Structure 1
Amino acid sequence: MSDDIYIVGGGHAGTEAAFSIARLGLTCTIITMDVDAIGRMSCNPAIGGLAKSHLVKEIDAFGGLMPLAADHSGIQFKTLNMSKGPAVRSLRVQTDKKKYSRYIYNAIKENKKIHTKKGEVVSFKTKNERVKSIKLASGEVLNCNGLIITAGTFLNGLIHIGKDTYRAGRLGEAAAHGLTECLVNYGLHSSRLKTGTPPRVLKSSIDWGKCRISTGDKEKEPFSIFRSRVDKNVNIDTFSVDTSRNTHDIINENINDSAMYSGKVTAAGPRYCPSIEDKVVRFKDRSSHSLFLEPEWLGSDQVYVAGFSTSLPKETQVCALKSIKGLENVEFIRPGYAIEYDYIPTYQLKSTLESKSIKNLFLAGQINGTSGYEEAAAQGMVAGINLSLSTLNRPPFIIKRQEGYIGVLIDDLVTKFIDEPYRMFTSRSEYRLSLRPDNVYNRLTPIANSLGLLDNKFYNKYLHFEKLCADYRKSVSSKTISFNNKSLPLDKFIKQPKNSLFSFFSPKDMVSKSSLFSVETDIKYSGYVEIEKKRANKVLSLEKTLIPKNFNYLDLKNMSSESREKLALVKPETVAQAMRIGGVSSSDITELCFVLSK
């Protein structure tokens, strides 16, 4: 039976799903149009960054694949938001994209429980509202007991460069057809989104002496402190430049040639990762915008121009970049482009990422309206775990909002109306002081172990980490210091912002340092965390209040028509989910609770 589990697509969501399924003892097959493209980084050559690193750390706590690949291929490790509190600091790892995809490819190929098959899934069939078979473009039909669709931007993908448009999933790769139409035929609603990527330019054509330098962390710490060892000799510098008024004038003069401004692209793009056209138009008062020049692999002649995502004609892209100091003689390897693709609005999914209408059909990644490798990998992991649990007749696995950013991500997807590519921010979580990278193992690793996702080596390292934390807590609670001629408990002294436990303890290795930092941060945030716990406990009863699957909201005459319509469309699984749907008022939630209590 387990050999009849299929994953459509071998990107970040698909590979993480496969890795989860294999760790739970089942076998699966990744079906992809290009087996050599497994794990490919389509856009920026980096993992992590603001809030996204929180997702990667949580994937690591579950024993996932992405953090290992990032650590293995990292060429610059840089912690962002260092001027802010530990809860919002974020590790960003600039990677060698070739080494990254090779690591993923080898991990998949070497795993005896994961198979790969070249092909394109164009449709599936169901029996008794459950997936029973899939059909490939070749005409081959395969029995299927579980299907995870992780199609990325390939579903009816359209690439736009200026006035030129052609069908593709990404540059140089064919689009996929049939699956969207199949999903729609089974009653699921689909829509369109847009994303983009910047040009790649020749390293030797850049005047590096005119660029600003950006160095990595002096002490590199990997995403996976239990499983990774980073190369201390590799931590390259990266560089940045600024656009100018002249650059903006060139873009404005040619704005109608941009596919996004000519009316050719009607789908919504990522508001928080705007194209250079959007930056110039929306922020007219800005005299410049920063662009970041990042090599795509170690020793690469190909440089990624981060911050210059565009659908302008190639000649306009070249002209605009040549107006920038340091890029006067820039030469292109390939232009930037925009891509439109199909996605499935996620109110149609459960918190497990299973379809509400078709059993054992799961969706993960950009097909769910998200942007980013990290969001995709997190969804793939959850989908893979839940399909496995369903196959094994075990209860489903759901990370709650108060347990992790992955829980925030998925809860937002299934309760909100996604009308632009969704990306993670720490501000999306009402529990962000509790959901920190430093306490991720304490929060999630016991859950991962109870599911059977971890090997003994990983879990024993976690137990060692937890013992170190307990020992440090005990030592701190028993220590007093002399401060302003008074005796003061050390834990009270540490609560002051500038004071640190590292002045009193000298941890020798990375795991010891991480455990001490976690204890220190727990102490500093303890008051705020207690407030968040009380808030979480108030919501907990609503999380446990289930709503019947076929509940008829249209019969609730004392509820506003807007709330009835939105609740009927989304079909929330719990009262807490209903409460988080935009446009549903607190008085309408009270009415819902009253009816459910009868």
Structure 2
Amino acid sequence: MSVLDPTYDVIVVGGGHAGSEAAGAAAQIGAKTLLITMNLEAIAKMSCNPAMGGVAKGQLVREIDALGGLSGIVSDETGVQFRMLNLSKGPAMWSPRCQSDRMLYAQKMREKLEQKENLFFRQDNVVDLISDDGKSIKGVVTQTGQKFFAKAVILTSGTFLNGLIHIGESNYGGGRSGERASVGISAALENMGFEVGRLKTGTPPRVDGRTVDYSKLEEQFGDEDPSGFSFLTEELPSLDEQLSCWIGYTNKEVHEVLKTGFDRSPMFNGRIKSIGPRYCPSIEDKINRFSDKEHHQLFLEPEGWNTYEMYLNGFSTSLPEDVQYKALRTIPGFEEVIMIRPGYAIEYDYFPPHQIKRSLETKIVEGLFFAGQINGTTGYEEAACQGLMAGINAGLFVQDKEPLILQRSEAYIGVLIDDLINKGTEEPYRMFTSRAEHRILLRQDNADLRLTEIGHKIGLASDERLQKVEEKRKAIGELDDLIKDYTVRPEQMDPMLESKSSSPMSQPMKAVKILLRPEVSLQDMMDYDSELSEQIQAISTDGKVLEQIEIQVKYAGYIEKEFEMVKEMEKQENMLIPEQIEYSNIKSLSTEGTQKLAKIRPETIGQAGRISGVSASDLSVLMVYLKN
């Protein structure tokens, strides 16, 4: 062994959100792990908007935290504003989001990673892979010629693989603004037999917040009673301590200025050929596709506590810099604005995700794992949860243990990975609540009840986390018994019911009957019945526990139906398909079904049934074939 001690259990290539979670998880569960990144100062850097969470994305971060990952607690420690989205809808749609201090987030993440005893760092650029005839991974080669060996390698290269940045008619190699692209890995993977594709994403200009006229914008405050991501967080900034975001709008004049640059736009003159995220289009794409709209909403977001740099969400662009600047100064409130950094688009290599297993290990090369944008996803949260699962499964792989597979009914993380493998993606994949058919079970509020025991069993979630979950589950059980047994009386409840325009009680009844009314909350009942309040508080004073029992009572019918559906689906999920099955030998399969099954090679009958192009009759034929 050389002085550099180049042998490890797991090597993680890339230090973004996927790489950080992967390295942290692998090290935590006992694997000697090396994190190789091109710039140690840019670990977990927020390349795009300085925020975590949002619709469905917030559920992902809470699940990462429940399993014992890092993104949730780092977000809570570095957030400058916290909001719970979709509160006007049912609890399955509630999604936490926080505005983050961009520089502090990266700093805190690195601090937490450096606390992992089994984790080591190397600032370098990986340019090649070492394998056993392309069948199993052995290690990596860096640009300095150094070889590092490991039983498992996780690639989390983000937008760096052959990255190409576009600003107007200019383009140059880069993984993000100010950082060079990574060259070599794509070619190595292609030589091993992997299929490669190209995707695009973009970012808006950053502006000097001191030069904005806020009187022309709408102020957007954080929540008065903020909710964080981590189940360990005890305290968050109050409303007065949080920073505001601001809402502005484009107009016809802005659109006309932007159009003057279309002939020099890489999107419209053919220089960008790859596909960008449908749900986060550039401003030029929006005004081109939605020409009937006279304005588009913009969000001006602070980048941190101690900086005047601000992010203009909704104004992603790759137009020439002079056009960006002129258009910015046409937006109401931005007439005197100074642009700190122009927006840009970036094209990069990705590897279509039908080439990975549910563990995120590749099907072609044993011990090689992909996580993050290399699989065709977009967003910090989507990347982080893949990194976490790849880190867990790489760590389990080197310990000769079975991989951790989360089902669609267990977690949004399971939905995301299952979607990628079975449906693939030709555009950057983004998580939405609508993608989860069991979303009433997969709420952000119960992620700990669903996943912490799993995380603790594999050595990722701490004893403290498990104890908190056990205490929470015990309190929920006792509260459930209490409200089912406790009797409330008309003289106590009727004044409250009248104030809610709810029908009065005709006789005493169990508390659960009143709580079932949509307009009545548990706190309402406690306010009008002091004895009930005392008994509840004797069990728990945790608002999250009270919220949990209220959701369980009000949505009990829906939850029970979902559990029944999950039980039915589990029968197919547990029917394994042999890895070496030859679909071409199954004569009754349709041509499309044969092609799709052979390409994706599902691991279970349930997975096969979710592949586009595999019909119900194909599934029946396959099940009969396996039984015989």
The TM-score with structure 1 as length reference comes to 0.97
Aligned to 2:497: none
Q: CA deviation at 1:537?
A: 1.6
Partner of 1:372: 379
Q: TM-score, normalised by structure 2?
A: 0.93
Deviation at 1:417, TM superposition (A): 2.1
Residues of 1 paired with 2:560 and 2:321: CA distance? 54
Q: What is the aligned counterpart of 1:272 among 279, 286, 296?
A: 279
Amino acid aligned to 2:166: H
Give, in angstroms, the shift of residue 511 of structure 1: 7.2
Listed as ranges, the matches of 1:196-235 within 5 Å are 196-232=202-238, 234-235=241-242
The 5-angstrom pairing of residues 567-582 of structure 1 reads 567-582=597-612
Aligned to 1:79: 84
1:296/1:358 CA distance change after superposition, 3 Å:
same
Give 1:194's match in structure 2, choosing from 193, 196, 200. 200
Per-residue CA distance 1:433-463 (angstroms, 9 max, x = gap): 1111111111111111222212222221222
Given that 2:8 and 2:149 are in contact with CA atoms closer than 8 Å, whether structure 1 keeps it comes out as: no
1:141 partner amino acid? K
Q: Deviations over 1:112-168 (max 9, x none)?
A: 211110111111122272211211111111222110000000000000001100000
- Measure, in 1, the Cα distance between the counterparts of 2:97 and 2:263: 35
Determine which of 11, 36, 52 is the counterpart of 1:31.
36
2:267 corresponds to which residue?
Answer: 260
Alignment of 1:405-420 (within 5 A): 405-420=412-427
**Which of the numbers 519, 539, 544 marks the counterpart of 1:498?**
519
The SS at the match of 2:553 is helix
TM superposition shift of 1:493: 2.2
> Does the 8 Å contact 1:312/1:337 carry over to 2?
yes
The residue identity in structure 2 corresponding to 1:493 is: I
> Residue 348 of structure 1 aligns to which amino acid in structure 2?
Q
Q: For the structure 1 residues 556 and 256, does the alpha-carbon distance in structure 2 shift closer, same or farther, using more than 3 Å as the test? A: farther
> Matches of 2:229 and 2:29 in 1, distance apart?
23
C-alpha separation between the residues in 2 aligned to 1:253 and 1:33? 38
Out of 165, 174, 178, the residue aligned to residue 172 of structure 1 is 178
Q: Letter of the aligned partner of 1:551 in structure 2?
A: I
Q: Deviations over 1:46-65 (max 9, x none)?
A: 01011100000101111110
| Matching residue of 1:134 | 140
CA distance in 1, matches of 2:306, 2:540: 29
C-alpha contact 2:7 2:149 (8 A) present in aligned 1: no
Give the SS at the match of 2:594. Answer: helix
Q: Does 1:425 align with 2:432?
A: yes
1:270–1:65: structure 2 CA closer, same or farther, 3 Å change rule?
A: same
Cα distance in structure 2, aligned partners of 1:111 and 1:2: 18
Q: 1:33 to 1:510 in 2, by over 3 A?
A: farther
Q: Does 1:55 align with 2:60?
A: yes
* Matching residue of 1:10: 15
Q: How do 1:471-486 residues align onto structure 2 when only pairs under 5 Å count?
A: 471-481=478-488, 482=490, 483-486=504-507
Q: How does 1:437-448 map to 2 (within 5 A)?
A: 437-448=444-455
Question: 1:208: Cα distance to partner?
Answer: 0.9
Q: Which whole-Å deviations, capped at 9, do the CAs of 1:452-492 have from their partners, x for residues lacking one?
A: 21222222122222222112111111123345213333223
The alignment status of 1:89 with 2:94, answered yes or no, reads: yes
Distance, in Å, in 2 between the alignment partners of 1:495 and 1:581 is 39
Task: Quote the residue 2:248 is aligned against.
Answer: 241
Checking the alignment, whether the CA contact within 8 Å between 1:11 and 1:40 is kept in structure 2 is yes
Q: Does the CA-based 8 Å contact 1:6-1:29 persist in structure 2?
A: yes
Of 61, 68, 73, 1:68 maps to: 73
Deviations 1:178-206 (A, max 9, x none): 11111111111110000000000111211
1:148 matched to which residue of 2? 154
**Are the aligned partners of 1:59 and 1:378 in contact in 2 as well (CA < 8 Å)?**
yes
Q: Give the superposition deviation at 1:580.
A: 0.7
2:83, 2:227 within 8 Å by CA — same for their partners in 1?
Answer: no
- Structure 1 counterpart of 2:571, from 536, 541, 563: 541
Change (3 A) 1:14 1:284: same
Any gaps of 5 or more consecutive residues in structure 2? 1-5, 491-503, 527-532
- In structure 1, give the amino acid aligned to 2:126: V
- Distance in 2 separating the partners of 1:430 and 1:115: 40
Instruction: Report the Cα offset of residue 561 of structure 1.
Output: 1.1
Residue 228 of structure 1 and its aligned partner are, at CA, apart by 4.7
- Paired with 1:446 and 1:142, the residues of 2 have a C-alpha distance of 34
Quote the residue 1:331 is aligned against. Answer: 338
- Are the counterparts in 1 of residues 18 and 386 from structure 2 also a CA contact under 8 Å? yes
* 2:207 corresponds to 1:183: no
Q: Report the CA distance shift for 1:297/1:442 in structure 2 as closer, same or farther (over 3 A).
A: same
Pick the aligned partner of 2:405 from 388, 394, 398.
398
Q: How many Å separate the matches in 2 of 1:121 and 1:510?
A: 52
How far 1:590 sits from its partner (Å)? 1.1
Shift of 1:366: 0.6
> Which one of 442, 457, 464 corresponds to residue 457 of structure 1?
464
Deviation string 1:477-520 (CA, Å, 9 cap, x unpaired) is: 11233452133332232222111112234577997110111111
For structure 1, which segment, 314-323 or 473-482, has the greater mean C-alpha deviation from structure 2 after superposition? 473-482
1:198-230 CA-partner distances (Å, limit 9, x unpaired)? 000111211111111101100112211324532
Of the three residues 355, 358, 361, the one matched with 2:365 is 358
* Aligned partner of residue 131 in structure 1, secondary structure: strand
Letter in 1 for 2:520: N
Q: How many Å separate the matches in 1 of 2:333 and 2:454?
A: 51
Equivalent AA in structure 1 for residue 568 of structure 2: K
Q: Which residue does the alignment assign to 2:530? A: none
Shift of 1:430: 0.4
Greater CA drift, 381-390 or 580-589 = 580-589
Match of 2:623 in 1: 593
Displacement of 1:273:
0.8
- 1:382 counterpart residue number: 389
Distance 1:69 1:228, change over 3 A: farther
> In the alignment, is residue 515 of structure 1 matched against residue 545 of structure 2?
yes
Say whether the 8 Å CA contact 2:487–2:510 is kept in structure 1.
yes
| 302-311 vs 496-505, which moves further | 496-505
Give the gaps of 5 or more residues in structure 1: none
Q: Which amino acid aligns with 2:11?
A: Y
**Equivalents in 1 of 2:565, 2:283: separation in Å?**
41
Which one of 120, 124, 141 corresponds to residue 115 of structure 1? 120
Task: Name the CA distance, whole Å, in 2 between partners of 1:431 and 1:99.
Answer: 35
